[in-house]
Amino acid sequence: MVSTAPYGAWQSPIDAGHAAHAGGRPDAVGTVGDEVWWVEPRPAEGGRRALVRRRPDGTESSVLAEPWNVRSRVMEYGGGPWAAVPRDEGGPLVVFTHFADQRLYAVEPDAPGGPAPRPLTPLSPVGGGLRWADPVLVVERGEVWCVLEEFTGEGPTDVRRVIAAVPLDGSAAGDRSAVRELTDDAHRFVTGPRLSPDGGRAAWIAWDHPRMPWDGSELKTARIADGGFTGVRTLLGGPRESVAQVEWAGDGSLIAATDRSGWWNLHRVDADSGRSVNLCVREEEFAGPLWHTHQRWFAPLAGGLIAVLHGRGAAVLGILDPATGEVADAAGPWTEWAPTLAVSGTRVVGVAASDRTSYEVVELDTRTGRARAIGARHTDAVNPAYYPRPRVRTFTGPGGREIHAHIYPPHSPDHTAPDGELPPFVVSAHGGPTSRSPLVLDLEIAYFTSRGIGVAEVNYGGSTGYGRAYRDRLREAWGMVDVEDCAAVAEALAEEGTADRARLAIRGGSAGGWTAAASLVSTGLYACGTIAYPVLDPLTWAADGTHDFESRYAESLVGSPTEAPDRCRERSPLHGTARISAAFLLLQGLEDPVCPPGQSERFVAAMAGRGVPHAYLTFEGEGHGFRRAESMVRALHAELSLYAQVFGVDAPGTPVLELSK
Beta strands, E only, 510-623:
528-532, 583-589, 614-619
User: Closest by alpha carbon to 417, among 454, 467, 447, 466?
Assistant: 454
How large is the angle between the packed helices 481-495 and 511-522, nearest 10 degrees? 70
Q: What confidence score (pLDDT) does residue 460 get?
A: 98
Task: Kindly write down the DSSP assignment for every residue of 279-346, as one continuous string.
Answer: SS--SSBS----SSTT--SEEE-TTS-EEEEEBSSS-EEEEEETTTTEEEEPPSS--EE-S--EEETT
Scored b (16 or more CB within 10 A) or e, 611-625 reads ebbbbbeebeebbbb
User: Closest by alpha carbon to 395, among 446, 347, 438, 458?
Assistant: 458
User: Domain with 476 in it: what CATH number?
Assistant: 3.40.50.1820
pLDDT band at 568 (very low <50, low <70, confident <90, very high): very high
The whole-angstrom separation of Cα 571 and Cα 3 is 46
The model's pLDDT over 106-159, given as tens digits with 9 standing for 90+, comes to: 999 998 877 789 999 999 999 999 999 999 999 999 999 999 999 999 999 999
pLDDT band at 22 (very low <50, low <70, confident <90, very high): confident
Task: Kindly write down the DSSP assignment for every residue of 199-226, as one continuous string.
Answer: SSEEEEEEE-TT--TTT--EEEEEEEET
The whole-angstrom separation of Cα 410 and Cα 428 is 15
Rounded (10°) CA dihedral 469, 473, 475, 477: 170
Q: Is the pLDDT of residue 443 over 80?
A: yes
Q: How many residues does the chain have?
A: 661
| Cβ(327)–Cβ(308) below 8 Å | yes
Distance (Å) of CA 570 to CA 246, 582, 630: 40, 19, 37
Write the burial class of residue 381 (CB in 10 Å: 0-12 exposed, 13-18 middle, 19+ buried).
Answer: middle
The one-letter amino acid at 253: S
Q: What would the mean pLDDT of 443-449 be, rounded to a whole number?
A: 97
- C-beta neighbour count of 322 within 10 angstroms: 18
Asked whether the whole model's pTM tops 0.85, one would answer yes
Q: What would the mean pLDDT of 74-88 be, rounded to a whole number?
A: 95
Question: In whole angstroms, how large is the CA radius of gyration of the chain?
Answer: 25
Q: What would the mean pLDDT of 391-401 be, rounded to a whole number?
A: 97
Tell me how many degrees the CA angle 228-232-233 measures, rounded to the nearest 5: 160
The model's pLDDT over 302-341, given as tens digits with 9 standing for 90+, comes to: 989 999 999 999 999 999 999 999 999 999 999 999 999 9
User: Closest by alpha carbon to 468, among 292, 595, 283, 204?
Assistant: 283
Does residue 617 lie in a domain region? yes
Distance (Å) of CA 132 to CA 73, 103, 427, 453: 8, 7, 38, 43
Q: Is the pLDDT of residue 92 over 80?
A: yes
Task: Kindly write down the DSSP assignment for every residue of 442-466, as one continuous string.
Answer: -HHHHHHHTTT-EEEEEE-TT-SSS
Q: What would the mean pLDDT of 551-579 be, rounded to a whole number?
A: 95
pLDDT band at 544 (very low <50, low <70, confident <90, very high): confident
Scored b (16 or more CB within 10 A) or e, 69-78 reads bbbbbbbbbb
Does residue 229 lie in a domain region? no
- C-beta neighbour count of 305 within 10 angstroms: 18
For the chain, the average pLDDT equals 96
Does residue 171 lie in a domain region? no
3-state secondary structure of 28: strand
Distance (Å) of CA 547 to CA 159, 542, 550, 592, 595: 10, 8, 6, 10, 8
pLDDT band at 21 (very low <50, low <70, confident <90, very high): confident
Name the percent of the chain lying above pLDDT 70: 100
The whole-angstrom separation of Cα 479 and Cα 476 is 9
The whole-angstrom separation of Cα 393 and Cα 125 is 52
pLDDT band at 1 (very low <50, low <70, confident <90, very high): confident
User: Closest by alpha carbon to 436, among 455, 413, 462, 399?
Assistant: 462
pLDDT band at 67 (very low <50, low <70, confident <90, very high): very high
Does residue 605 lie in a domain region? yes
Q: Is the pLDDT of residue 636 over 90?
A: yes
The whole-angstrom separation of Cα 453 and Cα 471 is 29
Q: What confidence score (pLDDT) does residue 296 get?
A: 98
67 or 21, which is more confident:
67
The whole-angstrom separation of Cα 243 and Cα 408 is 34
Q: What would the mean pLDDT of 641-649 be, rounded to a whole number?
A: 97
φ and ψ at 538, to 5 degrees? -65, -20
Containing domain of residue 414, as a range?
3-16+382-647
Cβ neighbors of 22 (< 8 A, separation 6 or more) are: 358, 381, 443
The DSSP letter of residue 422 is P
The model's pLDDT over 168-177, given as tens digits with 9 standing for 90+, comes to: 999 999 999 9
Q: What confidence score (pLDDT) does residue 113 get?
A: 76
The model's pLDDT over 282-311, given as tens digits with 9 standing for 90+, comes to: 999 999 999 999 999 999 999 899 999 999
Does residue 407 lie in a domain region? yes
Does residue 295 lie in a domain region? no
Does residue 503 lie in a domain region? yes
Q: What would the mean pLDDT of 534-563 be, rounded to a whole number?
A: 93
Q: What confidence score (pLDDT) does residue 287 get?
A: 98
SS (H, E, C) 225-276: ECCEEEEEEEEEEECCECEEEEEECCCCCEEEEECCCCCCEEEEECCCCCCE
Q: What confidence score (pLDDT) does residue 39 get?
A: 98
Q: What would the mean pLDDT of 350-360 be, rounded to a whole number?
A: 97
SS (H, E, C) 550-566: CCCHHHHHCCCCCCCHH
Q: What confidence score (pLDDT) does residue 653 get?
A: 87
Region of poorest pLDDT, from 63-67, 207-211, 292-296, 650-654: 650-654
What domain count does the chain have?
1
Write the burial class of residue 422 (CB in 10 Å: 0-12 exposed, 13-18 middle, 19+ buried).
Answer: middle
The whole-angstrom separation of Cα 352 and Cα 48 is 21
pLDDT band at 535 (very low <50, low <70, confident <90, very high): very high
The whole-angstrom separation of Cα 528 and Cα 612 is 10
**208: region left, alpha or beta (phi > 0 left; psi from -120 to 50 alpha):** beta
The whole-angstrom separation of Cα 164 and Cα 167 is 10
Does residue 326 lie in a domain region? no
